[in-house]
Amino acid sequence: MNAASAVALKNVARRFVTPSGDVLSALENFDLTVAPGEFCAIVGPTGCGKSTTLGLVSGLAQPQGGTVTLFDAPVTGVDRRVGFVFQQDAVFPWRDVLGNVMAGPLFRGVPRAQAEAEARDWIARVGLTGFEHHHPHQLSGGMRKRVALAQTFINKPEVLLMDEPFSALDVQTRELMQEELLSLWAQSGAAVLFVTHDLDEAILLADRVAVLTTRPARVKSVHTIDLPRPRNIATLRYDERFVAIARRLSDDLRDEVLRARREAMA
């Protein structure tokens, strides 16, 4: 892969028409680039349009202005190289774990036997061996996330979009899942665009963190996180370097949140 960028958003605008007929601008003049294999996190005030960016990159939504490219080619629709882990549970409740994980290959025309073998391999990699024939409602929230990760990684995505994937999990489970994600990502070599409202999570996981402004969202600043890899999620939090970065980003984000609140009050 010789592309300069895995994902690039240039001067992108995305607007919605509200039910009352007003035009609401979610993104304006939005610029962001993610290099191949890079882990980029997006943080910003609540409701600022973080998830909107992922919708545009996935091809599920189209921008009203600017260009969105994947490996230097414009996004025209859902791209096979893209994986997406959603905030809410998006595993199919009527399929068991095996059926969920092999869904992607089957949709893409892989023969059933091969899809099943791959799925069993991925189920083992996310630690769900023995749960192949459980249905999602029989699993815990963390296990359902593992299913979602296996379901996404089995398609070998080159670009992985993640929309606050761990926000619904308890703290301990979230930490485990973050470790899990980092090891899966390290083996996959995919570029990641990870949306979160949790600043610590962004710093622990990412190579770069983009801070967004309030709506309409633009990239306010991009911070490089030069913490060495492989990272230990459990102990990194107490590292001085982590604390310094967290303070810097937190100040940056707080300005934006305060500005959002002033605007909301005005």
Partner 1 sequence: MTDATAPLATEGRIESLAERQRRRWRMIIALRIIVFVLLVGGWELGVRAGWLDSFFFGQPSAIVDKLIDWIRNGTSIGPLWKQVWVTIYEAGAGFLIGSVLGVVCGITLGRNQLLSDVFSIYIKIANSIPRIVMGSIFIVALGLGSPSKIALAVVMVFFVVFGNAFQGVREADKNLIANARILGASNWQVTRAVILPSALSWILASLHVSFGFALIGAIVGEFLGAREGMGLLIASAQGSFDSNGVFAAMIVIAVVALCAEWILTTIEKRLLTWRPEVSAAGE
Which residues touch 19 (CB under 8 Å, ≥6 apart)? none
Cα 196 to its chain centre, rounded Å, is 8
Q: Measured from the CB atom, is 92 or 200 closer to partner 1?
A: 92
Binding residue (CB under 8 A) for partner 1 from 12, 56, 91, 246: 91
Chain position carrying tokens 């990699």:
125
Q: How far is the CB of 94 from partner 1 (least distance, A)?
A: 4
Residue 16 as a binder of partner 1 (CB under 8 A): the answer is no
Check binding of 248 to partner 1 (CB under 8 A). Answer: no
Strands (E), the chain: 7-17, 23-34, 39-43, 65-70, 73-74, 82-85, 159-163, 191-195, 208-212, 219-224
Instruction: Tell whether residue 168 is a contact of partner 1 (CB under 8 A).
Output: no
Rounded least distance, CB 256 to partner 1, Å: 28
Smaller CB separation from partner 1, 109 or 230: 109
92 near partner 1 (CB under 8 A): yes
Calculate the alpha carbon distances from 198 to 21, 61, 73, 143, 206 in Å: 33, 25, 31, 21, 12
Question: Cβ atoms within 10 A of the Cβ of 39, count?
Answer: 25
Residue 94 interacts with partner 1 (CB under 8 A): yes or no: yes
Segment interacting with partner 1 (CB under 8 A) among 1-9, 94-102, 184-192, 248-256: 94-102
| Residue in 259, 253, 264, 266 with CA at minimum distance from that of residue 44 | 253
Query: What character string, x for contact with partner 1 (CB under 8 A) and - otherwise, covers 45-84?
Result: -------------x-x-----------------x-x-xxx
Residues making contact with partner 1 (CB under 8 A): 58, 60, 78, 80, 82-84, 86, 88-96, 103-104, 107-108, 135-138, 151-152, 155
